[in-house]
Structure 1
Amino acid sequence: MCDEKACQIKAVKRQIARSKVVVYSKSKCPHCKAVKALFKDLGVEYVAIELDSLGSLGDSIQDALLELTGQSTVPNVFINGKHYGGNSQIQELKKSGALADILDGDSYDLIVVGGGTAGLSAAVTAADLGAKVALVDYVAESPKGTKWGLGGTCINVGCVPKILMHHAAISGQKLEDAGRVGFEVSIKDHSWPDLVSKISTHIKQLNQKTEASLEERNIAYFNARAKMKSRNEVQLVSMDANNDETLTVITGRKIILACGKRPRIPSDLVGSDLCITSDDLFSLPKHPGHVLCVGGGYVALETAGFLRSFGSRVTVAHTGDSSFLLPRFDRQMVDVVAENLRLSGIRFVSDGQLVKVESTTTDDDHHQLKAHVRNSSSEVRVLSVDTVLVAIGRKADVSDMDLHVAGVSVNADGEILVDESGRTGNPDIFAIGDVAAGTPDLASFATQCGKRVANFLFAENPDGRGLMRNFGDPPTVVFTPAEFASLGFSEEAAVAEFGADQVSAHFQYFAPVRERISVKYGGRNCAKVVCKKEKSGVEKVVGLHFVGPFAGEIMQGFVLAMETGLLTKQALDAMLGISGTNAQVLTNLQLSNKC
């Protein structure tokens, strides 16, 4: 419980946050009458609190105002949550012309909620088109207490640190390979703290550069939680120097919600507080030791790959059979990825659901975790590990944003419902990136959505339909040790879409020339195209998949060709390959599947 003055101060803060202009007044005060008349003449709505009509409560409020502002007299005027003094100060602001700017100061052409890939792309594009933009971003701590700066998941705990660790792992492998081709190489143990420190330093530099890019464009940046106050008002919730909650309201002609997602941990998992997620992995202070990666998607397999290279024993536990690894990807290619991971020493436990984690201490005082994994027959096996990484997907969390107040609806998973243009139920509010229902959780997709929606809003695009949906099946890379790049339809999806008699699939396993005498283990590489048979006899490429070194770099060059719809199997066969490269295999796909 707070004392009377503290309670009144909080009440005043709530009041000034709820209204654009608040005048604490006394009904017979001539100065109060003058300032209220000024606002009326300007057509500015204001809330007047007549202290002399409130009895002793009015005295308490005036005491609170004195404590809060240092001003004992009335009128006491607040605009957009900020104190501007009394009548003489407001009159002077009007005379100088500054009052109009102050009244408009917290009104924006666009408010973007979320400082990740999608939000930054939208904010920067809109500002470059001349819009007055505000960006609101706040990162809630993970259950393990991890927090980070501006830039969202991709910069802080996703794409950037993941790729840096992937490259570090590849670098270590190359050192080992060098010893197989005549170099005398002395390899010391890998220093996990050193790698984490270097990645942390780089990410902080990116945070600073990102914030600087907002400043260069005069984008107002608010590090605060956002709640919808009305259909076009956003309430910002932050903490002041005294750790008291501060509320501010800003207004946007248009609003873009780009709040992203966070890792999902099952609510019924016993001992979930002993687990980590990808939010925590890249800042672990010490080597994670023997790791249980729970899940069969991107994060679990990518993490398993680089941790194994850093000397960890790694077990991957996933529900179902092998079809639950990288679902929606081409199964033939996923089998190649899984085989390569097994060859590197990673152990797979299929049909395994993590149900309990408990902390134990071994006889030599070593802290360990006991992970209880249950199969579909209710049989439980217990794995002794040092770290449990839960990577079973991500979820949107907008439950505390009061979206319903603004006419914005969500689905059962908390994702914001949008139409093909990214619009929500409120035509002035859009949702983009991972938080938008039905969109891929991919940074590249989020970037393009941000650009397209901002261009539509501020470059006078005449048609907003299809802004979010005309990418087709987007290109992506799974950064396992042998990278897996994928674009367009898998063989299974193509058969479901076009029918088996209309689909052909061609592939080739290969060994990169540059690695044939140096690689540690004989992992498989594979290239594959999935084609739709045209009436003309041409096989139009509708899916392209590649497992091998630098697969993403190879795939990027084919994205434009695929998007034009002009890439065919016949064109690949006739293409002049560059001798000695991995991409050359695409000119010689000799094996075919019977679809």
Structure 2
Amino acid sequence: MTDSYDYDLFVIGAGSGGVRAARLTALGGKKVAIAEEYRVGGTCVIRGCVPKKFMVMASDFAHQFHTAEGYGWTVEASFDWPKFLQAKDVEIARLSGIYAANLGKAGVDLVNGRAVFKDAHTVEVTHRDGTGETRTITAEKILIATGGRPWMPEGLEGIEHCISSEEAFHLPELPKRIMIAGGGYIAVEFAGIFAGLGVETTLIYRGPNILRGFDDDVRAHLAGEIEKRGIKVILGCQHQKIEKTETGLVSHLENGMVLEHDVIMFATGRVPHVKDLGLEKAGVSLNDKGAIEVDTLSKTSADNIWAIGDVTDRMNLTPVAIREAVAFHETVYRNNPSHFDYEAVATAVFSQPPVGVVGLSESEARHTCSAGVDVYVTRFRPMKYAFTGSDERVLMKLVVDAASQKVVGVHIVGPEAPEMIQLAAIAVKAGLTKAQWDATCAVHPTMAEELVTLKEKQSQDTSAG
């Protein structure tokens, strides 16, 4: 670092990606600072993956209690929303504290405030203590890791009465009725959460089915399964307007339906958090989707500025942001140009039942595999529900490149799907063939054994797709 700069590296955003990049760089001997306008930990820890998973686990107990009755248990239970919120907030505060402590241990200076570019090497930080005090900081290199924020439809009459997923974590009381607008993983997950907690839940989505971009069998199967959990699903429709009355919020829908709920939550997507960052003053360009434009090494249009994580809108997953942070550090500070490999990244939807996927959907594979694909599918009732009379079913699907016989896609809907897909991802990433999967001895009795005992093809395509 030259004497003309305060820091070698300044990071904007203390989420999972920003924290990892800051720590690695500071541990490597560089002078590093990181600015966070809210709380250390970012979306995942504070208002995303972690608190949402706690809510999923809390809400799933009702289903477990019902299952327990089939095994001879008599269960009398009630749910205390304020008690849960308090426990959740205590744990989130603890985790945020750990992130902050780890930054300190690595020698990173934590700046509590919002950073805005003045030029490519200079930021002005407004401290979040409410005093309006600002501080000007210079850095040789700057990394943007500001993540994303919920998108709310502008121009929709009555949208000001609605909440996003972020407010859902702090509702003062549990509503009796909720409508969730959206069909992505956030909408589906929160629908399961509120339904599991006894809330009358409606999910509305303008598309033909939920989870756009996922395998069509997964989408159809999950839509049916969540309805079995009591969620009312309205597809191919959206709001015309929202009206606030003395008794609740009234949704006027395009199909003529009029529905009343206590809370309406919009989970209709997230957008990169770039508003009012002063990017134009730093010479940082956005792409046509409003995300920060970067090259394969995460470098922006400015020579000394990089960006990682959801603000680049490449693959918006916490573990991916962390890997991008590591690649940034290797590239910039270890003379080892690196980039993250976005192929065969596993992901989970913590719906109820949950989803785990890795690799290509059947449709994607048919457009990618020139010799066609082999598809293996099974649907069955989990052993756990044998005594309950439940008609809930598990879906497992393998998509295989017909020419190479490599398993290029694995799709699971059912209990413990996220746990199974993590291990299945190793095999897909390694390029193992269907024969190698078949050669793996099953663990019995488990659901996962179906992944290595599927023998009968559902279909075979020898065309180019």
Q: The TM-score by the shorter chain falls in which range?
A: over 0.9
User: What is the SS of the residue equivalent to 2:195?
Assistant: helix
Q: Per-residue displacement from partner, 1:405-452 (whole Å, max 9, x unpaired)?
A: 222101243210011111101122111101114x11111111111121
1:594 is displaced (CA, Å) by 4.1
Q: Which residue of 1 aligns with 2:448?
A: 583
- Distance, in Å, in 2 between the alignment partners of 1:399 and 1:453 is 23
Match for residue 44 of structure 2 among 150, 154, 158: 154
Match for residue 401 of structure 1 among 277, 295, 306: 277
Instruction: Give the letter for the 2:407 counterpart.
Output: V
Match for residue 207 of structure 1 among 96, 102, 106: 96
1:399 is displaced (CA, Å) by 2.9
- Distance, in Å, in 2 between the alignment partners of 1:370 and 1:193 is 26
* Shift in alpha-carbon separation, 1:560–1:266, aligned structure 2, 3 A: same
User: What is the SS of the residue equivalent to 2:343?
Assistant: coil
- Distance, in Å, in 2 between the alignment partners of 1:484 and 1:426 is 39
Higher helix content, 1 or 2? 1
- Distance, in Å, in 1 between the alignment partners of 2:128 and 2:165 is 27
Q: Which residue of 2 aligns with 1:196?
A: 85
Q: Per-residue displacement from partner, 1:383-408 (whole Å, max 9, x unpaired)?
A: 11111010000012323111122221
* Shift in alpha-carbon separation, 1:151–1:106, aligned structure 2, 3 A: farther
1:134-283 correspondence runs (5 A): 134-139=33-38, 149-187=39-77, 189-238=78-127, 243-283=130-170
User: What is the SS of the residue equivalent to 1:223?
Assistant: strand
Contact 2:297-2:327 at 8 Å conserved across structures: no
1:167 is displaced (CA, Å) by 1.2
- Distance, in Å, in 2 between the alignment partners of 1:114 and 1:227 is 11
- Distance, in Å, in 1 between the alignment partners of 2:36 and 2:3 is 22
Q: Which residue of 2 aligns with 1:440?
A: 315
- Distance, in Å, in 2 between the alignment partners of 1:545 and 1:434 is 24
1:344-493 correspondence runs (5 A): 344-361=229-246, 367-374=247-254, 379-437=255-313, 439-461=314-336, 463-464=337-338, 467-468=339-340, 470-493=341-364
Point out where structure 1 has 5 or more consecutive residues left out of the alignment: 1-100, 140-148, 362-366
User: What is the SS of the residue equivalent to 2:274?
Assistant: coil
Q: Report the number of matched residues.
A: 460
- Distance, in Å, in 1 between the alignment partners of 2:101 and 2:296 is 33
Q: Per-residue displacement from partner, 1:463-508 (whole Å, max 9, x unpaired)?
A: 34xx14x231421000011110010100011112224x42221111
Contact 1:106-1:249 at 8 Å conserved across structures: no
- Distance, in Å, in 1 between the alignment partners of 2:178 and 2:60 is 19
- Distance, in Å, in 1 between the alignment partners of 2:261 and 2:390 is 26
TM-score, L = length of structure 2: 0.95
Q: Which residue of 2 aligns with 1:530?
A: 399
Matched, 1:497 2:387: no
Contact 2:372-2:460 at 8 Å conserved across structures: no
User: What is the SS of the residue equivalent to 1:196?
Assistant: helix
User: What is the SS of the residue equivalent to 1:259?
Assistant: coil
1:38-49 correspondence runs (5 A): none
User: What is the SS of the residue equivalent to 2:253?
Assistant: strand
- Distance, in Å, in 1 between the alignment partners of 2:126 and 2:300 is 23
Match for residue 412 of structure 2 among 531, 541, 546: 546
Give the root-mean-square deviation of aligned CA atoms. Answer: 1.9
TM-score, L = length of structure 1: 0.74
User: What is the SS of the residue equivalent to 1:135?
Assistant: strand
Contact 1:255-1:430 at 8 Å conserved across structures: yes
1:295 is displaced (CA, Å) by 0.5
Instruction: Give the letter for the 1:453 counterpart.
Output: F
Contact 1:397-1:414 at 8 Å conserved across structures: no
Give identity over the alignment, percent. Answer: 32
- Distance, in Å, in 2 between the alignment partners of 1:211 and 1:105 is 28
User: What is the SS of the residue equivalent to 2:119?
Assistant: coil
Match for residue 228 of structure 2 among 329, 343, 348: 343
Q: Per-residue displacement from partner, 1:298-319 (whole Å, max 9, x unpaired)?
A: 0111111121111011111111
Instruction: Give the letter for the 1:223 counterpart.
Output: N
1:558 is displaced (CA, Å) by 2.1
User: What is the SS of the residue equivalent to 1:154?
Assistant: helix
Instruction: Give the letter for the 2:21 counterpart.
Output: A
Contact 2:382-2:393 at 8 Å conserved across structures: no
Instruction: Give the letter for the 2:109 counterpart.
Output: A
- Distance, in Å, in 2 between the alignment partners of 1:104 and 1:216 is 24
User: What is the SS of the residue equivalent to 2:92?
Assistant: helix
Contact 2:18-2:325 at 8 Å conserved across structures: yes
Point out where structure 2 has 5 or more consecutive residues left out of the alignment: none
Match for residue 122 of structure 1 among 5, 9, 21: 21
Max Rg structure: 1
Contact 1:136-1:224 at 8 Å conserved across structures: yes
1:244 is displaced (CA, Å) by 4.3
1:512 is displaced (CA, Å) by 2.3
Instruction: Give the letter for the 2:437 counterpart.
Output: L
Q: Which residue of 1 aligns with 2:376?
A: 506
